Amino acid sequence: MNNSTSSEQGNLPGPSTSTSSSHLLHGNEDGSTTDKPEEPSISFLSAMQLQVFKNFVNNYLTKGELLREDAIALQSMFGPTIIQVFEMIEEEQLVIHQSQTSKQIIIEVFGQTSSESYWIPAGHSICQCMHFVHGKSPFCKHVLAAHLYLAITPKEQFKVISDEQFMLLIRDLDDD
């Protein structure tokens, strides 16, 4: 990554301009929201990795760009994989699918070929890629990209699907 913060932002989804549009916000009893992000449910990250992840999300949502110090911290924590992660996000290789009624989320990460997709359930470190399947790491670039993208993408950009379609996706994954 280069040293300029403005070019590091690239085409990452912009933070929401209204506080009610980000899925990371807590609702108040009166229906309004606060700008306090939810704690990410990413149990596969170490405490230190989780803190770096949370700092990035907080800074990105409040400042609207990838800060140099966050880029350095992310790269020191996740190595060159983080560059691939941001490339996937910038190239829009991810889609967040949310079930209409239950609000469950699964993230589709497109692979290198047009017929290749990996499906990552929100909050889990599960992937069908060979790197993950062969156990080289507790997570892969697809899992990290999915959770980073989920954390910075406004809720309005989620692809809402019927609960039936969502269950078919999950069932198809179980069959693989």
Could you list the beta-strand ranges (E) of the chain: 25-27, 33-37, 94-99, 105-110, 117-121, 159-161
Claim: this prediction has a pTM higher than 0.85: no
φ, ψ of residue 105 to 5 degrees: the values are -130, 140
Higher pLDDT residue, 99 or 137? Answer: 99
Highest mean pLDDT of the ranges 96-105, 115-124, 163-172: 96-105
Q: Report the C-alpha gap between 148 and 142 in whole angstroms.
A: 10
Average pLDDT over residues 141-148: 94
